[in-house]
Structure 1
Amino acid sequence: MTARARHPRPGEGPSTPATVALDRAGIAYTRHAYDHDPAAASYGLEAAAALGVEPARVFKTLLVDTGRAGAAGLAVGIVPVDGQLDLKAVAAALGVKGATMAEPAAAERSTGYVVGGISPVGQKRALPTVLDETAYGFATVFVSGGRRGFDIELAPGDLATATGASRARIGRP
């Protein structure tokens, strides 16, 4: 883990299950709030532009369905917002035959977050998680902090620790 978690100054962003989980784990992160446009075509690209960082450093949290019964069939893939999740690659990384995108309602029920604000950290249920290999090319990456218009920045290794993520090439341009 990196240095101790820094608590935000007023106005730096809300407290969410993600920030609570990181604080409890003693993982360092930075909060980044921005004005969310509900008409934005891509929440992730909107975040990158609003925060002034390259899209390759901003990662989206996508839930997949592996076909297993109930919530046990859901898993998480974390990939750059300027790319796509490779369903075959994430299935291979999870050790399952195949994967499809999870229904938005199932994703919201399982994580406790709303689509467009699903954080990989602090979800209601711990799900198998895979972090795209490209994250490790950056000192820090950005992921949703648990609300639209709110991202957290942390080291990729700390993100993996907080989520129990494995590391694999699961994204494609």
Structure 2
Amino acid sequence: MTRRTDASAGTPATVALQAAGIAFRAHAYEHDPRAAAFGLEAAEKLGVDPERVFKTLLATVDGGPLAVGIVPVAQQLDLKALAAAVGGKRAELADPATAERRTGYVVGGISPIGQKTALPTVLDESAILCETILVSGGRRGFDVELAPDDLLAVTAGRYAPIARQR
């Protein structure tokens, strides 16, 4: 995989990947503002199996700190499993305004990479089965493709079973 350094792709996520020396491929597509499911839209427009496209969700754990859960777009985040993965008992999805403020990204374009605040990050273990996965590159209509282990390296994250079927 080659690194792509298009000026048009310059986001905090791509800057962080380049600074870490991590190979990635940038994928831009025309985002439809009417799309209800940003991740499924990305999979469809990029022609990629939805099991390889992952969404980034933020949750509050035990009423306090935020954590990042990254799961396939065709599945749901298991909040109890995410809480357990970061040493908590209970989690609930973060308020969108809080998620935007803490990450520096807008909902639908929240990348797990290059966030304003480093947060505990958990990638669903299904990613282990993929040579590469796609995650948001930091804006709507822009994903980055990279090896799952590289994603964990750049986010100081870890694998855990945190996804469940819809």
> Which bracket does the TM-score occupy, shorter chain normalised?
over 0.9
In the alignment, the residues of structure 1 paired with residue 6 and residue 12 of structure 2 have an alpha-carbon distance, to the nearest angstrom, of 18
For the pair 1:133 / 2:147, whether they are aligned, the reply is no
- Residues 1:89 and 1:24: Cα distance change in structure 2 (over 3 Å): same
Where in structure 1 are there 5+ consecutive unaligned residues? none
Deviation at 1:68, TM superposition (A): 4.8
In the alignment, the residues of structure 2 paired with residue 128 and residue 20 of structure 1 have an alpha-carbon distance, to the nearest angstrom, of 20
- Residues 1:158 and 1:37: Cα distance change in structure 2 (over 3 Å): same
In the alignment, the residues of structure 2 paired with residue 159 and residue 166 of structure 1 have an alpha-carbon distance, to the nearest angstrom, of 9
Measured against aligned partners, the alpha-carbon deviations of 1:10-40 in whole angstroms (never above 9, x if no partner) come to 7xx5200000000000000000000000001
Verify the 8 A CA contact 1:143 1:152 in the aligned structure 2: yes
For the pair 1:6 / 2:3, whether they are aligned, the reply is yes
Of 128, 136, 147, the match for 2:139: 147
Secondary structure, counterpart of 2:126 in structure 1? helix
Aligned residue number for residue 108 of structure 1 = 100
> With structure 1 as the length reference, what TM-score do the two structures score?
0.92
Aligned residue number for residue 32 of structure 2 = 37
Moved over 6 A (4+): none
Of 53, 61, 66, the match for 2:48: 53
Q: How many residues align?
A: 165
Aligned residue number for residue 150 of structure 2 = 158
Aligned residue number for residue 94 of structure 1 = 86
RMSD: 1.3
> With structure 2 as the length reference, what TM-score do the two structures score?
0.96
Deviation at 1:7, TM superposition (A): 2.9
Verify the 8 A CA contact 1:8 1:30 in the aligned structure 2: no
Aligned residue number for residue 60 of structure 2 = 65
Aligned residue number for residue 23 of structure 2 = 28
In the alignment, the residues of structure 1 paired with residue 83 and residue 115 of structure 2 have an alpha-carbon distance, to the nearest angstrom, of 21
Secondary structure, counterpart of 1:142 in structure 2? strand
Secondary structure, counterpart of 2:9 in structure 1? coil
In the alignment, the residues of structure 2 paired with residue 67 and residue 112 of structure 1 have an alpha-carbon distance, to the nearest angstrom, of 23
**Fraction of identical pairs, as percent:** 63
Aligned AA (1:7) = R
Measured against aligned partners, the alpha-carbon deviations of 1:115-161 in whole angstroms (never above 9, x if no partner) come to 00000000000000000000110000000000000000000000010
In the alignment, the residues of structure 1 paired with residue 63 and residue 22 of structure 2 have an alpha-carbon distance, to the nearest angstrom, of 32
Deviation at 1:67, TM superposition (A): 3.3
In the alignment, the residues of structure 2 paired with residue 99 and residue 142 of structure 1 have an alpha-carbon distance, to the nearest angstrom, of 25
Verify the 8 A CA contact 2:63 2:91 in the aligned structure 1: no
